[in-house]
Amino acid sequence: MSAFEGGVGAVNAGRPAEEVARELIGRLSQEEQLWLLDGDEDFWQGLARFRSEGYNRSPIVQGAIDRLGIPGIRFVDGPRGCVAGHGTAFPVSVARGATWDISLEERVGEVIGQEIRAQGGNFFGGVCVNLPRHPAWGRAQETYGEDPYHLGEFGAALTRGAQRWVMACVKHFALNSMENARFAVDVTVDEAVLHDV
């Protein structure tokens, strides 16, 4: 049994998860701890793999420590479904948001989570709750609509469903409305508008 499996068993038996996690971290060498800050796959190797296999055909692994059996984070993108393997392609988020059916969105999240887990993933990067400020934003279909309350309710529903099986991550949370220059653009916004919207 690996150290990680032993830790999972201890948590399932009632030991505090934080205590078990601290013990596992204490078993990491300094090199392993530093390596966790960098990632598993060199950029150029990853780019070559994506070109040969296609984007996100299998989970993208970061932070695995084989010596201790720590599986790491196994990222699968979204938000239309599990894009690894042959997952279900759900309607785009803006179409799902138009249903106003929160319970349906939670069930969609649960299916996405199950399919990600079945493909070996454990981390879903598909909860998009960015407010589409302009209809020409290239990823407007990835979010639920233009009302902050509506976005929050649907994003929470998708998260609740997915997190029965995997970790879920909010993406494009705020002020990401320019696809081609998103790593270089300087978004200037009034502080009150930022917090209100």
Instruction: Show pLDDT as tens, one digit a residue, over the chain (197 residues).
Output: 999 999 999 999 999 999 999 999 999 999 898 888 876 666 667 667 777 777 778 888 888 999 999 998 999 988 899 988 888 999 999 999 999 999 999 999 999 999 999 999 999 999 999 888 777 778 888 899 989 899 999 999 999 999 999 999 988 777 777 777 777 878 888 899 888 77
Provide the pLDDT for residue 25. 94
The DSSP 8-state label assigned to residue 140 in this structure reads: G
Provide the pLDDT for residue 43. 66
Single-letter amino acid, residue 12: N
Distance between CA atoms of 58 and 87, rounded to whole angstroms? 11
DSSP H or E stretch at residue 149:
helix 148-162
Provide the pLDDT for residue 110. 98
Is the model's pTM score more than 0.75? yes
Provide the pLDDT for residue 11. 97
Domain spanning 72-196 has what CATH number? 3.20.20.300
The domain spans of the chain are 1-54, 72-196
